[in-house]
Amino acid sequence: MNVGNLNPDTFAQTLASTGITVRCGPFVTRIISELPELTAPIQLLYSEFPIIEDSLVDFHVRVKAKSGLSHRLRSHITFTLDREEAFFPFHRSLALPLFEWGMNWCVYGNAHQFEMIHGAAVQRGKQTLMMPGVSGAGKSTLCAALVSRGWRLLSDELAIWRPGEDVILPLARPISLKNYSIELMKSFAPNETFGPYFGNTAKGALAHMRAPRESVRKMDEPSAPTHIIFPRYTAGSGPELEAVSKRDAFVRLSEYALNYPVHGKEGFNSLVDMIEKCDCYDFRYSILDDAIRAFDELS
């Protein structure tokens, strides 16, 4: 039974009462929310994910109106993990962005059985690309573009692996797009499914693209990275792949590491092993079609 299979009213009722439990890759999350703003978008963006019974739940999550100051209007909402609040209260018009950021926060704040970096990961055939970066440098746009052209999405935001292993575990959660990327992707990939548009978050305009069905279906198929690519959208630039020394890749990659020192020697060796096996590049681009072609030619 997938999230999308439930009748919308049933989905809303269950979400508001006992909660809906979904699995995204290795993480099982039980979500409870009475907010009507959240029901339809979650059911849309997570439609392909299985609903889980009988599993240990990693994250017990609630998104609800904050009682207190705006009690009568209930205009502000919070995301809590087992009663611990992530961030500060948001305005309820930003329920979905809060939810998505909160889901990421659950992982990078807690899942220390994994090494984690901020970055995207995609796979096609023998190539698995890891693209470190925080939102804004063009990583998500590139990721979305690749995914809409046949690459499998492992993750848009968090590349994770177990220390001592060399494979990245997929999460296949929605890809977040900002500002100009939203319109760009809607015309580049009109057949993909997009969530609602949020005009005024702290980080500009925001919308989400759903992961393709295949990517979600294969969320239990991890993959060892073959390339580490640092993407940078550069206006007017033709597609340029420039080799980066492994040592520099190490330095730059560790800047995006979310929990690097936690795993001690094992984590250090794991990171070095991974980089040893990868070809490392800087990638500058301005036109998505150029980027797709350049990546098609990667060997």
Q: Which range touches other proteins (CB under 8 A), out of 150-158, 172-180, 248-256, 286-294?
A: 248-256
251 binds other proteins (CB under 8 A): yes
Please spell the DSSP secondary structure of 180-203, one letter per residue: HHHHHHHHH-TTS-B---EEEETT
268 binds other proteins (CB under 8 A): yes
55 binds other proteins (CB under 8 A): yes
Binding-residue total with other proteins (CB under 8 A): 34
- Spatial distance between the Cα atoms of 164 and 265, rounded to a whole number of angstroms: 10
Q: Which range touches other proteins (CB under 8 A), out of 9-17, 214-222, 242-250, 283-291?
A: 242-250
Query: CB 146 → other proteins: shortest distance, Å?
Result: 27
Site for other proteins in 15-34 (CB under 8 A): 26, 28
- Spatial distance between the Cα atoms of 126 and 108, rounded to a whole number of angstroms: 28
- Spatial distance between the Cα atoms of 104 and 125, rounded to a whole number of angstroms: 28
293 binds other proteins (CB under 8 A): no
- Spatial distance between the Cα atoms of 295 and 299, rounded to a whole number of angstroms: 9
Asked if residue 117 lies in contact with residue 159, where contact means CB atoms within 8 angstroms, the answer is: yes
Site for other proteins in 136-165 (CB under 8 A): 163
| Choice from 24, 168, 219, 275 touching other proteins (CB under 8 A) | 275
**Ordered alpha helix ranges (H), the chain:** 8-16, 36-45, 95-110, 139-148, 180-188, 213-217, 246-255, 264-276, 288-296
Q: Which amino acid is at 64?
A: K
Q: Which range touches other proteins (CB under 8 A), out of 8-16, 48-56, 87-95, 199-207?
A: 48-56
| Choice from 250, 281, 283, 295 touching other proteins (CB under 8 A) | 250
Query: In the chain, what is the greatest distance between 2 CA atoms, to the nearest angstrom?
Result: 60
CA atoms lying within 13 Å on the CB side of residue 188: 22
Q: Which range touches other proteins (CB under 8 A), out of 6-14, 122-130, 145-153, 255-263?
A: 255-263
14 binds other proteins (CB under 8 A): no
Can you give the binding site for other proteins, defined by CB under 8 A?
26, 28, 54-58, 60, 82-83, 110-114, 163, 245-247, 249-251, 254, 260-265, 268-269, 272, 275-276
